[in-house]
Structure 1
Amino acid sequence: MKILHVSTSDISGGAARATYRLHGGLQNMGLDSQMLVQEKSSHDQTVIAPRIRLFQGIAKAKLTFEALPLKLYRHRKSTPFFLQWLPDRIAPQVAKINPDVINLHWVSAAFMQIETLAKLKQPLVWTLHDMWGFTGGCHVTGGCDRYQLSCGACPQLYSNTDKDISHWVWQRKSKAWKNLDITLVSPSHWLAQCARSSSLFQDKRIEVIPHGLDTQKYRPINQHFAREIHNLPQDKKLILFGAIQATSDINKGFHLLQPALQQLSKAGQKDDIEVVIFGANKPENTPDLGFRTHYLGYLNDDISLATAYSAADVMLVPSLQESFGQTASEALACGTPVVAFNATGLKDIIDHQQNGYLAQPYVVDDFATGIAWVLENEHRLQKLSFYAREKAEREFPLELQAHRYHSLFQEIINIQNNSLLHT
Structure 2
Amino acid sequence: MLSLTDLPFAADVHPEARPAARLTWDSREAGPEVAFVALPGEQMHGNAFVEQALSRGAPFVLTDLDVERAVRVADAREALFSWARSERRRNGLVVGITGSVGKTTAKSYVAAALGAHFMPVYNTLPAIACFLLEFGASEKPLVVEMGIDRRGEMRELVDLVRPDVGVITSIGAAHLEALGSLEGVAQEKGVILEAPRRLVSTQAASWFPGVATYGFGDATWAGEALQVGPDGAAFRFQGVDVNLEHAARAQAEAAVLALALAEQAGLNLSEAASRLAQVSVPGGRYQVLPGRFTVIDDTYNASPLSVRAALDALNAFTGRRLSVLGQMLELGEHEAGLHAEVGNYAREQADLTYGVGPFAAQLGERAFRTVPELLAVLESEVRNGDVILVKASRGISWSLERRAQEGVGLDSVVKALLDWREAK
Same fold (TM over 0.5): no
**Structure of greater Rg:** 2
TM-score normalized with structure 1 length: 0.29
Structure with the bigger RCO (C-alpha within 8 Å, sep 6+) is 1
TM-score normalized with structure 2 length: 0.29
